[in-house]
Structure 1
Amino acid sequence: MSDTMQAPFSILFVDDDEMSRNHFARAIREDYHVRIARGADEAMAVLSEYAAEIAVLVTDFRMPERRGDDLLRQVAQEHPQIVRILVTAYADKDMLLQTVNTGDVFRILEKPLRVETVREVLRQATARYAERETRQQRLLAMDETLAFLAHELNTPLATISLFARAVETDVAEQYDPERQRAIGQAATSMQNNAQYCLTLISSFWAAVHQNGGQPFASGAGTRKVKATQLIATLLDTYPFTASQGDWIQVDVQGDFVVHSMPNCVALVLSSLLSNALRALDGATAPSLRFEVVDAPEPEIRIRDNGPGIAPEIKARLLQDPVTTYAGSGGHGMGMIFCNRIMQSLGGRLGIESTLGAGTTITMSFPRFRS
């Protein structure tokens, strides 16, 4: 591996002997960026600044002031994502067993270090680090998705509760035909919101089981899902009312595989569709178009010809809890969660809107090279 193709992380090597530090750095610098420290305290100082980039810690056992196993224990507590390797020239079996059994070390290397052995162990260690990072990203995405799902269910359920309370009050009173129509509209709204909740849960449940119970898995064993498939499933299952389904067109200029967590993407699509339909409510000639492109980068665009978003609201939508639907139970958190999910996938969310001319939401995905 050349200097320009180094792995995107560093190895921290800790040894009080300068010759050992120089030898280690020369042996692996073509493959990894190396940071060095002369002891445990200096190593912790390096980690305080560069922990985000350091994947593997390799430390000598016998050092002045603090031993390597003590450093490993501290790093295990404060930086558990870092893979830890101990180097020793001493056959202290009790110490080695204790270090291994407590989980403070990934491998133990014996001095004198052999270059090929070091390279192989580092290859295994960086693979372990990458696996941990992937798992952490999946857990983060899962947390975001659960929070997103809770929000998406909370808003319509809160609306149902408010309408139900209004219906209960009105039924107990004397009311005229106009009030009867209002009650009928409230009942319809309750039904639509409840159906939306059920559809969202049902779609997520079905996606989980179609992926063998592993909704956030990735790799060779994962079913490949294309952007057009996600849109088609959404349009087939979404609880459209009246003629809403007739407003929608799908324009495919280039399809692509959604490599990362398609279930999360499906939830984002569902939320964005709901927002667009709400914006089009009452429009003279409502139109909503899904566009799928794969160049210059993979994107899904959702265009509507609704009233548009005021500039002061648009500027804050992806970062602050603002909404134009506060009166109907909106919290302004949906776009924030959508944006966070897209960011956790390595993509982004974009908004273009002009008052009186409509809004376009763009879901941009990372380009995966085969």
Structure 2
Amino acid sequence: MTLAGPSTTLSPQEIRVVLLVDDEPQALKWFVRLYGDEFVVLTAGGVDEALAVLRERGNEVAVLLTDYRMPQQDGVRLLATVSREYEHISRLLMSAYADKDVALAAVNQGRVEQILEKPLDEAVTRQALRDASAASRRRLRDQVLLRRRDENLRETLGFLAHEVRTPLATVGGYLHALRDRQQAPACGSAELACLALRRPGEVRTMLDAALRRTDYAQSLVTSFVRTARDAYHADEAASELASDLVKSVRDGYPFEADEAGWLSCDLAQDFTLPGQRDLLYLVLCTLVKNALLALHAAPPPLPAIRIVLDTEAGEPVMRVADNGPGIAPEVLARLTREPVTTRAEQGGHGMGLVFCRRVMQSLGGDIEVLSPPGGGVHICLYFKFREEEKHHEVSR
């Protein structure tokens, strides 16, 4: 194997590694001299040598250019192997015998992207290498994107499973309670169901609470299904107003008793969300849930949660604040970077804010958690927009 690199200094994004496979040593030397000014050139004298190079440096190679006629194995078989095992590599074939059978074999077996006729034309070959390198980089970016989407979906699914388990467990508890209260009707009629009430109206209260939690669990599942569907579309999910997101959480979250009265919203400085509305729904539900838990753990005289749409340094911000007991400094420093929970005995896993941070960063933004000395927690969701996305205000 020989190696030649560009004489000029190129950034990592510009370096294009080409693996040339040819059984003629003089042709290898000529190719390195001619194209080494623009490409990093690796060479191999046959199929076995080429496969050895790929096993060692296949992740670096952008283009494979192989001769057709070679001893032992022909170039098409090499291209077929590369198409299966190194999907990002662009595959080019050169041949002085570019007849119909060679072309068909190259396309059908090796999935070749272009056939170059020998002797190579310098201008045509150079452009073909440039185009093939660019195609390889696009495939690599797409593969990375798909891996990240898969990882995000798996993480979201795990988070969702935990979030759904809590309301479903509550629904199950209510159903068990109703079953335990069932009694045989005094009149002996099989068409009547009698429930023993421990306090007036408790059955209606349990049914209403169960319905709220069922609707909330359904909204979480629906959000995940939309996110999973949109993740594999080329276009981003349709953007929506931040105020619509806040209203959907305000109206859909399964508040208990007078909890809904604790929440107030200032939606005057509205803005358009940068896609991924369904993941942001999970984020905002998580922040509201955490605030409610904090307020129940150490109730202030007048519990309050406030969601405000705002701007900071010209960028849109969503703020979620509560007047609960606050967060200890040693816990605060770790919250969004690693799983931390003070509610392990209640089933807490500490992944909530970590998940929120990853969602915000996937949108090009971030999350900041503050806890002033006087108590309370202030969470800021920062959104970054492309230049064409205009921030706008909408009256309440």
**TM-score, scaled relative to structure 2:** 0.67
- Structure 1 residues not aligned, in runs of 5+: none
Structure 2 residue aligned with 1:200, among 220, 227, 240? Answer: 220
Name the residue aligned to 1:153. Answer: 164
Is the contact made by 1:254 and 1:293 (CA closer than 8 Å) also made in structure 2?
no
Quick one: which of 120, 129, 144 aligns to 2:155? 144
* AA matched with 1:359: V
1:101 aligned to which of 93, 101, 108: 108
Residue identity (%): 29
Higher-Rg structure is 2
Change (3 A) 1:108 1:292: farther
Task: Say whether residues 1:363 and 2:370 are aligned partners.
Answer: no
Q: Using CA pairs below 8 Å that are at least 6 residues apart, which structure has the higher relative contact order?
A: 1
Q: Which residue of 2 aligns with 1:232?
A: 247
Q: Is the 8 A contact 1:347 1:365 kept in 2?
A: yes
Change (3 A) 1:98 1:321: farther
Retained in 2: the 8 A contact 1:55–1:126?
A: no
| Partner in structure 1 of residue 95 of structure 2 | 89
Question: Which residue is 2:271 aligned to?
Answer: 255
Residues 151 and 334, structure 1, Cα contact 8 Å, conserved in 2: no
The amino acid across from 1:101 in the alignment is N
Q: Kindly tell me: are residues 331 and 262 of structure 1, through their superposed partners in 2, closer, same or farther at Cα, counting changes over 3 Å?
A: same
Which deviates more, 344-353 or 11-20? 344-353
Q: Tell me how far 1:204 sits from its aligned partner.
A: 5.7
Q: Name the structure 1 match of 2:66.
A: 60
- TM-score (structure 1 length as normaliser): 0.71
Report deviation, 1:368.
2.4
1:38 is matched with 43
Query: How many Å separate the matches in 2 of 1:245 and 1:231?
Result: 15
- Where structure 2 has 5 or more consecutive residues not aligned to the other structure, the ranges are 1-7, 22-27, 45-49, 184-196, 389-396
1:258 is displaced (CA, Å) by: 0.7
Alpha-carbon distance in structure 1 between the residues aligned to 2:364 and 2:9: 23
- Report which stretch shifted further, 146-155 or 237-246: 237-246
RMSD, aligned α-carbons: 4.3
Does residue 349 of structure 2 align to residue 328 of structure 1?
Answer: no
Q: Could you tell me how far 1:13 is from its partner in structure 2?
A: 0.4
Kindly indicate whether the alpha-carbon contact (under 8 Å) linking 2:239 and 2:277 is maintained by their aligned counterparts in 1: no
How far apart, in 2, do the equivalents of 1:163 and 1:244 lie?
A: 21
SS in 1 for 2:62: strand
Task: Name which of structure 1's ranges 127-136 and 14-23 shifts more when overlaid on structure 2.
Answer: 127-136
- Aligned positions, number: 344
Matches within 5 A, 1:259-274: 259=275, 261-274=276-289
The answer to whether the Cα contact below 8 Å between 1:83 and 1:105 also exists between their aligned partners in 2 is no
Partner Cα distance (2:168, 2:347) in 1: 9
CA contact (8 A) 2:171 2:210 kept: yes
Cα distance in 2 for residues equivalent to 1:71 and 1:147: 41
2:20 corresponds to which residue? Answer: 15
